[in-house]
Structure 1
Amino acid sequence: METTDYLDVFLEESDEHLQAINNHLLELEKNPENLEMVHEIFRSAHTLKGMAGTMQFQDIASLTHQMENVFDKMRNNELKVNEHVVDIIFQAVEALEQMVEAIRQGESGSMDVTALVSHLKDIEGGDDQTELEHKAAKEQFNPHMNLDEYQMTVVKQAIEQGFTPFQITVNLSEDCLLKAARVYMVFEVFEEFGEIIKSVPAVEELEAEEFETQFSVVVLSKAPAAEIEARVHTISEIESVTLTALDMNVKKAMDKKTVQDHLDKTKESQSTSANNNGKHTSSKTIRVSSERIDQLMNLFEELVLDRGRLEDISAKKNDLELTETVEHIAKVSQDMQDLILTMRMVPVEQVFNRFPRMVRGLAKDLGKNIDLEIIGADTELDRTVIDEIGDPLVHLIRNSIDHGIETEEARRRAGKPSNGKLILRAYHSGNHVFIEIEDDGAGINREKVVQKAIENGLITGDRAEELKDEDVYQLILASGFSTADKVSDISGRGVGLDAVSNKIAALGGHIFIESDPGRGSKFSIQLPLTLSILSSLLVHVQKEIFGIPLSSVVETVLLNEQDIMYSHRQQVMDFRGKIIPLLSLKEVLEVPGYEQDKEQKHLSVVIVKKGERMTGLIVDAFIGKKEVVLKSLGNYLKGIFAISGATILGNGQVSLIIDPNALVK
């Protein structure tokens, strides 16, 4: 076995133990007397320490060793659980997660954890600290200024685009009288050169001058450090400026023998643990890398193409034996398809698990009390969708906590419970999975959104009066749109909901917004179960064949020409009492071909939907339902209007797959 195989085992098991610590720590905070949670956390920390030690990840080992000592005191009733202790443990867990993630990215996984280890030792010795000391110490533990997962993602994406992340510390003169004004001027300079990701203390505290003379920020910029430093020094009453580029690319090799020892000790530890717990079970599962499942899926996609080819040949030959054999192959391959797709399905719990701690931290930062309820965490999605959905959910949750849920005082004035409620829900519906983020906050202010949309030129005043509430709410997904009265570190600084909308659309999904002013909002994300094999309706348009995803198809209709109506010079039809627009795929996609039969008295129409909206797509003929393998068009053809991909039919012909979302009006 190669070294990388051992590393994969370490990373996977580390993720499992860290997630277990997270979950049990949240439960322990709610019920400090629950010793079972303490035992569980101790066991996870102990195992993680052993794994890290044998693989020479010393910073992880030293931090988990000290965590283990703290929980050993707790389980022996020598140390009480309180809020400050839990906060420090959460910071330690966050540091461990960052080190594990760094190792996964090929870095050394090293981090200066001396401050955290020292503080854990103080806790172990029975020393406590005031909340102010705790807050001041919090910012020293993380060399990345305690950037959360979302901010780290923004930083990594910026680096790929040529930006450098700087940690900049500014000291004002001791005799500075207008500290908030100086901070404002410094921030203006930073924003000339790039984007501010985080500040310590937070923006609100700086504005209120709730700091001494020093503050730090993380700035993304393409400018040289010397130029930024010189520009800041032009501001009066600046004592010093220190710039440090955040290092994200340190490498470290591992000794093969050390890795082998790790596996042996890990197996021994697991065996001992099993004996101690008195639970002897035989494993009925095996670990298979996601890359192998992807390879299997690629091979099966080729089989699906050949299956279609065989079906076409069988139809032409009219041979009974061949037909029966092909039908059997089709049935078996369909069962294989279902099985492989099931293998690729993973519960959304893998994404949801990160949110309880995130909500807890953001609520504390904003001085709010928020209860998070997770429903349907066992709902399964394709792994490729799971990998991409995390960041949009993070932003929507941050948005609900910051902009949606009010402060305790505001909630009391509105006659609401002081604790806000945030619900994260997932469920299946047909061939889709819905993920909902619902809060009981202030809701969306229609007038405020309309006013901002008019200012941004998105709509006119006359048009605003015609819009339904749901249409107005969709405006907040526009690029650069924000109704925030002031910028905060939680949300609203340079990253809008348009990024969320674009990511969801790229996954073949949609986002719907509901709001009840004063009572709350709900963001619903509709996602396909899988992105690889698609049930589609094949249609003829001139000499071309197009596929329309069946998940978007409502019905097919043969429409008499005399039933076509016009509204504002747009062709429309009456569909079950509702007037919907008509679009000709031939005209929209500019498909070349022959003249239509003048004697044709009816039109073939495919009714497609996006949310509650529907549109009729005029085609030349229906071919029928077909399971097709969806292939990307690649970067060269990326962005073609109303086309989401392509497939190869049984006869070898390439068929483009329509994106109905782009056509629904």
Structure 2
Amino acid sequence: MDMSQYLEVFIEESKEHLQSCSEQLLLLEKNPEDVSIVNNIFRSAHTLKGMSATMGYEDLANLTHKMENVLDNIRNGNTSVSTELLDVVFQAVDALEAMVSSIEQGGSGQRDVTEIVGMLHRIETGEDPALRTEAEVSASAAAEAEEDTGQYTYDDFELTVLKQSKEQGYNCYEVTVSVRNDCLLKAVRVFMVFEILEKCGEIIKSNPSVELLEEEQFDNKFTVSLISKDSAEDIKNKVLKVSEIESVVCKSIQFSREETQNEVPGGKEEPEEQAQAVEIKPKAAENEKKQGNTKKTASSKTIRVNIERLDVLMNLFEELVIDRGRLEQISRDLNNQELNETVERMTRISSDLQNIILNMRMVPVDTVFNRFPKMVRQLARDLNKKINLEIIGAETELDRTVIDEIGDPLVHLLRNALDHGIETPEVRRGNGKEEEGHVTLKAYHSGNHVFIEIQDDGAGMNAEKLIRKAISKGILTEQAGASLSPKQAYELIFASGFSTAEQISDISGRGVGLDVVRNTIESLGGAVSIDSVEGSGSIFSIQLPLTLSIISVMLVHISEEKYAIPISSIIETAIVKRSEILQAHNQKVIDFRGKVVPLVFLKDIFDVPGEEEESEYFSLVIVRKGSKMAGLVVDQFIGQQEVVLKPLGSYLNSVFAISGATILGDGQVALIVDCNALIK
């Protein structure tokens, strides 16, 4: 049976369990006496160990087993939680993440974790493992592996594999093999047995582990869980052909009480006996039962879908939306009642389908944010700083394609805030601040965009110092530097090769990183800006498109051209008299519900050709970006429509205030206005 079919599930579930471990370890550091947190970490580690062993990733399973032993000591009260202990466990989780990443990229998942295993062992035993010989350590591990002498138990992942195999017509066995006491080369006999069993089917797990069996670190008996099409009798007869095998027991793994095969010792026929059926229980469920948790686990109602399939589905639906717009246009032109009703119904159904497809692609930014607390904790320790990270709006959703790309830019910006922004405790005390620096990572919706802000209460930036540094590095001329505003000076840190660090470190100071941040964000159709107050801190604001595909827009006329304004940015439309327009600071404004709102004449912004008309009234589209508003002046409203947002291409990616284009029902192209770029 091909285990590769489970690889994708294994990788995804491993990531989830490791992320859960990281989050719970951070909670444990703040609440070291809370045993329930330790139990949660233990369950995740336990399941991961079983999954890894089932898939044949022994390095993963062995490291997780060592981590599991330490956690078991903590929850049993034999070991107390300390910062040093958590540092080691965090290192183990990091190593496990690296192994899973290796497997995801097609590697073997192998990694040298000798040092981490040694530290875990020291914590587990309270002694230096160097005092014990390798044989003693192996024998101890073998003894641990032999502790489970009762019913075999399987974790959730192994249970899933067994059940699915059973449903596909395979037989599931536990084959217990005993070798003779006088056997001289036990490892060779084990190898020969495994070779036979692998020809019979697929080995799921062994007890003791394969590594211990190869080192002959077991008594005279071992058990192998096997999936096969062969009968139990055939399997036993094949194994018994290996010399120096004392006996073979082949028990059927049953999901209900049934008769199973009996033991045939020494190859001699014995009277058939009724063997006890093996009861399968998920190990996680057993742990919950021991802890008095009687809550039943609900069956999963989710499936995993490859993102590439969703991309294909989205592309097909985009074409459907364009054709839908064309049908609506034809329906209006022909004015046929039956056609109108059919098109209206198709529009409603396709709108519902559209919402479903878009929601399928939306992912909370929490999937990116959740890895940062552990990173900030480690960096703070490396920098000898005290830093508190606050995350706000982690439930904010973004298109999956955007989510996949923003992780690295956010890592760079956070490292920059920790290294350059937040001062050391001594400096903060001298400046009258609290010793602990505060970094806020915030996400929120604004119109058709999501904004992610990274704010710190650190030293802030000095515009003059940035300009001098840029001039000294040849990035800027003296003349150009003299004309820069503070806001423009802050933007210099995005220049390639620019750095204000006095010393180069592993964290920053090499002049790489922030230029990549800007390039990545702009490639996604987004933008990044900076604001700073020297002595008080800095704020980096990233603007990202909510989705890269289908949006609702208000179509408007500007002279003879059609433009699309995203509905998500619009507060309302209005018509105002020319006499109601006021002048303030060389800017035309209106009084909109007690607020002064500046006017933006799109005809001038986009340099649309056409004769100026002296009209008594102006048509306005009131838009907003956060708390700021603007009134976009247009010639005529056309109406609301669903459109497919298409990029302008690499040659036109820098066009001001245009986020893309769309094809309308009549075949015309309408440019989509980026309202956020128009609001300063």
Does 1:457 find its partner at 2:473? no
CA distance in 1, matches of 2:453, 2:56: 42
**Cα 1:299–1:270 shift into 2, 3 Å:** farther
- Give the match for residue 330 of structure 2: 313
| SS in structure 2 of the partner of residue 483 of structure 1 | coil
**Cα 1:319–1:259 shift into 2, 3 Å:** farther
**1:221-278 superposed Cα distances (whole Å, 9 cap, x missing partner):** xxxxxxxxxxxxxxxxxxxxxxxxxxxxxxxxx9993579799999844554565542
> Is the 1:424–1:438 Cα contact (8 Å) retained in structure 2?
yes
Q: In structure 2, give the amino acid aligned to 1:627.
A: E
- Give the match for residue 92 of structure 1: 92
Counterparts of residues 358-437 of structure 1 (less than 5 Å)? 358-437=375-454
- Give the match for residue 166 of structure 1: none
Pairwise CA distance, 1:365: 0.8
CA distance in 2, matches of 1:528, 1:379: 13
Pairwise CA distance, 1:402: 0.3
Instruction: Give 1:278's match in structure 2, choosing from 277, 288, 294.
Output: 294
Structure 1 stretches of 5 or more lacking a match?
A: 130-253
CA distance in 1, matches of 2:226, 2:327: 51
Q: In structure 1, give the amino acid aligned to 2:54.
A: T
| SS in structure 1 of the partner of residue 81 of structure 2 | coil
CA distance in 2, matches of 1:503, 1:660: 21
Does 1:500 find its partner at 2:517? yes
**1:278-334 superposed Cα distances (whole Å, 9 cap, x missing partner):** 221333621231424334333332332222122111101112232233223223322
CA distance in 1, matches of 2:410, 2:115: 32
Does 1:109 find its partner at 2:124? no
Pairwise CA distance, 1:557: 8.8
**Cα 1:90–1:297 shift into 2, 3 Å:** same
**Greater Rg, structure 1 or structure 2?**
2
**1:387-411 superposed Cα distances (whole Å, 9 cap, x missing partner):** 1221121111111100011011101
Pairwise CA distance, 1:58: 1.4
| SS in structure 1 of the partner of residue 110 of structure 2 | coil
Pairwise CA distance, 1:546: 4.5
> Is the 2:447–2:569 Cα contact (8 Å) retained in structure 1?
no
- Give the match for residue 182 of structure 1: none
Pairwise CA distance, 1:21: 0.9
CA distance in 1, matches of 2:568, 2:498: 30
Pairwise CA distance, 1:632: 3.9
| SS in structure 1 of the partner of residue 500 of structure 2 | coil
**Cα 1:581–1:623 shift into 2, 3 Å:** closer
Counterparts of residues 503-514 of structure 1 (less than 5 Å)? 503-514=520-531
CA distance in 1, matches of 2:646, 2:528: 24
CA distance in 2, matches of 1:419, 1:5: 49
> Is the 1:10–1:51 Cα contact (8 Å) retained in structure 2?
yes
> Is the 1:312–1:651 Cα contact (8 Å) retained in structure 2?
yes
CA distance in 2, matches of 1:78, 1:305: 66
**1:469-511 superposed Cα distances (whole Å, 9 cap, x missing partner):** 5454344334444333333221232324232233233333333
Pairwise CA distance, 1:94: 0.5
Q: In structure 1, give the amino acid aligned to 2:480.
A: T
**Cα 1:579–1:20 shift into 2, 3 Å:** closer
**Cα 1:268–1:612 shift into 2, 3 Å:** closer
- Give the match for residue 257 of structure 2: none
Structure 2 stretches of 5 or more lacking a match?
A: 130-197, 206-224, 228-252, 254-278
Does 1:625 find its partner at 2:640? yes
Higher alpha-carbon deviation: 556-565 or 6-15? 556-565
Pairwise CA distance, 1:515: 2.6
Does 1:119 find its partner at 2:141? no
Does 1:257 find its partner at 2:202? yes
- Give the match for residue 322 of structure 1: 339
> Is the 1:473–1:514 Cα contact (8 Å) retained in structure 2?
yes
CA distance in 2, matches of 1:55, 1:647: 48
CA distance in 1, matches of 2:4, 2:19: 22
Does 1:344 find its partner at 2:390? no
> Is the 1:454–1:460 Cα contact (8 Å) retained in structure 2?
no
CA distance in 2, matches of 1:17, 1:92: 13
**1:129-168 superposed Cα distances (whole Å, 9 cap, x missing partner):** 9xxxxxxxxxxxxxxxxxxxxxxxxxxxxxxxxxxxxxxx
Does 1:526 find its partner at 2:471? no
Pairwise CA distance, 1:114: 2.0
| SS in structure 1 of the partner of residue 483 of structure 2 | helix
Give the aligned CA root-mean-square deviation in angstroms: 4.1
TM-score (norm 2): 0.67
> Is the 1:349–1:378 Cα contact (8 Å) retained in structure 2?
yes
Pairwise CA distance, 1:634: 5.8
Higher alpha-carbon deviation: 16-25 or 436-445? 436-445
**Cα 1:651–1:68 shift into 2, 3 Å:** same
Higher alpha-carbon deviation: 394-403 or 483-492? 483-492
> Is the 1:477–1:497 Cα contact (8 Å) retained in structure 2?
yes
